[in-house]
Amino acid sequence: MVLEAAGQPLRERELPDPEPGEGQVLLEVSACGVCRTDLHVADGELPDPKLPLVLGHQIIGRVIGSGPAAGRFAEGDRVGVPWLGWTDGTCRYCRSGRENLCERAQFTGYQLDGGYAERAVADERYCFPIPAGYPDLQAAPLLCAGLIGFRSLRLAGDGERLGLYGFGASAHIICQVAVSQGRRVFALTREGDTEAQALARELGAEWAGAVGDPEASDLDAAIIFAPVGELVPEALRATAPGATVVCAGIHMSDIPSFPYELLWRERTVRSVANLTRRDGEEFMALAPTVPVDTQIQLYPLSAADLALNDLRHGRVRGAAVLSVGEPASG
């Protein structure tokens, strides 16, 4: 499924099989998660995507070939491909353990073709082995919703009372991780989104309700998953002194101005950008110990546009996943 220009629907196209280059593996894709970032790329909210482009950066596939100098995986190995697809390894960010900020980074499904396809190639150094207990479809959302959520949770600090703004793919995973760490989770959704609120309670949230409800206050930390700038002052208002508010998305509407009083008493507002390979390794080791149970809404590859549209309109429970090829099993 190909994005030919921003703002247009994806088109089903027959493309030649990609050739694995230096250090790359060729994958037969079995599943690919659908992320809000895909929607931002398709809508033209992120600048300069490769065009035409195959979206998708939560790829589960099996190795069916390797390019020159690629030897990390054997044929048949199951691997996951995340958003971080390549870094230069030499810039000041890479040299200081911050490859997520690499000046020349390339991202899967943005500058590199991704996983809304039957075949994909990926630099083997950025792929992850997938924990054995997860079937392909359930594993796919771990690769971005899980990983970026995990990085956001870590950057939110160790506070006990955690607010999650927006309860979609990422929040439904991170809620489980946070509860397993003994935190108290408050899930804040759009008013009337009783389905997301019910899911939050099912997954261990102590409280779920609408944004602005005074029941969710005095929070030690908040993570904003919804791409809505108004939520930043809103979340600050609901936090305790010293709290951190983490903006977890790659794109957000403008943040309205707000009184300094909301930030006063050492509150912090910060963003989270991308992932490092270390985040991935740590999260893939952690997920089965929680254990994180991903709830998925399944679409065939050819319905990728429908999946994006459902995501746009808040009609996805848990994480949307594309099933590619034969029905996948563990």
Min. distance of Cβ 36 from Zn ion in angstroms? 7
Map residues 100-129 to x or -, x wherever contact with Zn ion holds by CB under 5 A.
Answer: --x---------------------------
Angstrom distance (rounded) from CA 62 to CA 26: 8
CB of 52 to Zn ion, least distance (A): 20
Q: Does 294 bind Zn ion (CB under 5 A)?
A: no
- R_g of the chain computed on alpha carbons: 19
Which of 91, 155, 179, 210 is in the footprint of Zn ion by CB under 5 A? 91
**Residue 88 found at the interface with Zn ion (CB under 5 A):** yes
Sole window of 17-25, 85-93, 231-239, 275-283 interacting with Zn ion (rule: CB under 5 A) = 85-93
Smaller CB separation from Zn ion, 66 or 294 = 294
Nearer to Zn ion, 76 or 97 (CB): 97
CA distance 15 to 2: 9
Q: How many CB atoms lie within 10 A of CB 39?
A: 19
- Kindly state the smallest distance separating residue 3's Cβ from Zn ion, in Å: 15
Q: Does 27 bind Zn ion (CB under 5 A)?
A: no
Contacts with 164 (C-beta within 8 Å, 6 or more apart), sequence order:
171, 174, 175, 185, 186, 187, 188, 200, 205, 222, 223, 225
User: Interface with Zn ion includes 84 (CB under 5 A)?
Assistant: no
| Long-range Cβ contacts of 282-287 (<8 Å, 24+ apart) | 282/150, 283/142, 283/146, 283/147, 283/150, 284/80, 284/128, 284/129, 284/130, 284/131, 284/142, 285/131, 286/150, 286/177, 287/131, 287/134, 287/142, 287/146
Q: Where does this chain touch Zn ion (CB under 5 A) — which range of 15-23, 33-41, 176-184, 207-215?
A: 33-41
Residue 111 or 268 with smaller CB distance to Zn ion: 111
Q: Which is nearer to Zn ion, 88 or 213 (CB)?
A: 88
d(CA 220, CA 160): 6
Residue 46 vs 306, nearer CB to Zn ion: 46
Instruction: Report cis status (omega within 30 of 0) of the bond before 300.
Output: no
Q: Closest distance between Zn ion and the C-beta of residue 314, in Å?
A: 17
Which part of the chain contacts Zn ion (CB under 5 A), choosing from 94-102, 122-130, 219-227, 305-313?
A: 94-102
Q: Is 207 exposed, middle or buried (0-12, 13-18, 19+ CB in 10 A)?
A: middle
- 316: phi then psi, degrees, rounded to nearest 5: -105, 130
Output the smallest distance, CB 330 to Zn ion, in A. Answer: 24
- Using CB under 5 A as the binding rule, whether residue 94 contacts Zn ion is answered as yes
Q: What are phi and psi of 262, to 5 degrees?
A: -70, -25
| Residue 270: strand, helix, or coil | strand
Among 130, 144, 235, 319, binds Zn ion (CB under 5 A): 144
- The answer to whether 215 and 144 are in contact (CB under 8 A) is no
CB of residue 182 to Zn ion, shortest distance in Å: 27
Q: Residue 242 phi/psi, 5° resolution?
A: 85, 0
Q: Which is nearer to Zn ion, 219 or 226 (CB)?
A: 226
Residue 44: Cβ within 10 Å count? 13
The residue whose two tokens read 């609901």 is: 238
87 binds Zn ion (CB under 5 A): yes
Per rule CB under 5 A, is residue 35 in the interface with Zn ion? yes
Stretch that binds Zn ion, among 17-25, 90-98, 176-184, 223-231 (CB under 5 A): 90-98
Contact footprint for Zn ion (CB under 5 A): 35, 37, 87-88, 91, 94, 102, 144
